[in-house]
Amino acid sequence: MKVFITSIIPEVGIELLKKNDIEVIQNKSYLPLEKEKLIKKAKDCDALLCLLSNKIDREIIDALPNLKVISNYAVGFNNIDVEYATQKGIWVTNTPDVLTDATADLAFALLLACARRIVEADKFTREGKFKMWQSDLMLGKDLKGKTVGIIGAGRIGQAFGKRAKGFEMKILYYDKKRIQKFEEETGAKFSSLSQLLKKSDFISLHTPLTKETYHLIDKKEFNLMKDGAILINTARGEVVNEKELVNALKSGKLFSAGLDVYEFEPKITKDLLKMKNVVLLPHIGSATIETRNKMAELAANNIIRVLLGKKPLTPVNKL
Ligand code: DGY
């Protein structure tokens, strides 16, 4: 049995595969492989271990006749044509749970960084501009008592909510369905999207990217937001219309934004790079040593189980 790994991943995952007598072929580069090269290298593989930057479409699926499982090294799987894989009897798996806390931590770190202008203040200090204590220097926003709106209350959205509760914030959430447990644990209140946008001082996006959530936050939604709101996106860039985000930041509608993901990732809209009131990260939501190791183990275990004829641990499709 053979697996093709499209990029560099933590060694623990590779060792696990080898220990289970699976031959590992790996692209030892961080650059996403072009489609033709990926097909060529993965041609006779039984399993594919890929990253969110690899678009696994029909053409690739059709070109890999032995493929039994596509194991995504991410919780989001919008990069894979799951419907087609399912039609072809191929498992698609992801890495949920193991990255929930790391991603929620990062979203909250962005919220704090935006509220208290941490990055801007750091730059100011390094540039030698700290000459005296000033009563109005780098004024930010309080968290306690403020309302945070969580869009998408899945695992990560809920973990983010728990952090917000710790900071004594009021929580609104918008999701397809009510989540009793989350409400009991955090006091979160279920809301329509428009009410959440109107009432929230902070808005954090935790929804997967689907046809329904593409540009969920567009011009109309920015207009509904409170003046001076703060937007955090650690979900997927395409959930926000980045052009409208720039307009909302320029007009002062938004106080600031904290972004880990971008509509045209890894490209970043030029205007954002020039703005002081945005914190920009290179998609590091799950980037802790422990979490990335656990993701590698889970991605490998999903492959091992499928190749042993068992159901994977964390499938995203049903076969
Ligand atoms: C994921 O797993 O989908 C995250 O975006 C990776 O950090």
**pLDDT, tens only, 98-122:** 999 999 999 999 999 999 999 999 9
Cis omega before residue 96 (within 30°)?
no
Ligand 1 centroid to Cα of residue 298, in Å, is 14
Please give the Cα distance from 182 to 199 (Å, whole number): 20
In CATH terms, the superfamily for domain 100-280 is: NAD(P)-binding Rossmann-like Domain (3.40.50.720)
Nearest ligand 1 atom to alpha carbon 235? 5
Instruction: Note whether 2-98+289-307 and 100-280 share their fold.
Output: yes
Please give the Cα distance from 280 to 268 (Å, whole number): 9
Ligand 1 neighbours (beta carbon < 6 A): 52, 74-76, 99, 283, 285-286
The residue length of the chain stands at: 319
Ligand 1 centroid to Cα of residue 236, in Å, is 9
Nearest ligand 1 atom to alpha carbon 286? 7
Domains of the chain, by residue range, sit at 2-98+289-307, 100-280
Pick the CATH number of 2-98+289-307 from 3.40.50.720, 3.40.50.20, 3.40.50.150, 3.30.365.10: 3.40.50.720
Q: Residues 6 or more apart from 254 whose CB is under 8 A from it?
A: 222, 225, 228, 229, 230, 231, 245, 248, 277
Q: C-alpha 281: how far from its chain's center? A: 12
**Each residue of 22-67: pLDDT tens digit?**
999 999 999 989 999 999 999 999 999 999 999 999 999 999 999 9
Ligand 1 centroid to Cα of residue 314, in Å, is 15
- Report pLDDT for 99: 98
Ligand 1 centroid to Cα of residue 193, in Å, is 24
Catalytic residues: 236, 265, 283
For 75, the token pair is 């919780």
Ligand 1 centroid to Cα of residue 182, in Å, is 22
Mutate to test the pocket of ligand 1, among 103, 261, 288, 298 (most ligand atoms within 8 A of CB): 103
**Each residue of 224-271: pLDDT tens digit?**
999 999 999 999 999 999 999 999 999 999 999 999 999 999 999 999
CA 54, 158, 260, 147 dihedral sign is positive
Nearest ligand 1 atom to alpha carbon 283? 7
Nearest CA owner, ligand 1 atom 4: 74
pLDDT tier for residue 304 given thresholds of 50, 70 and 90: very high
Provide the b/e sequence for 192-229 (b: ≥16 CB within 10 Å).
Answer: eeeebbebbbbbbbbbbbeeebeebbeeebbebbbeeb
Q: Residues 6 or more apart from 310 whose CB is under 8 A from it?
A: none
Nearest CA owner, ligand 1 atom 2: 74
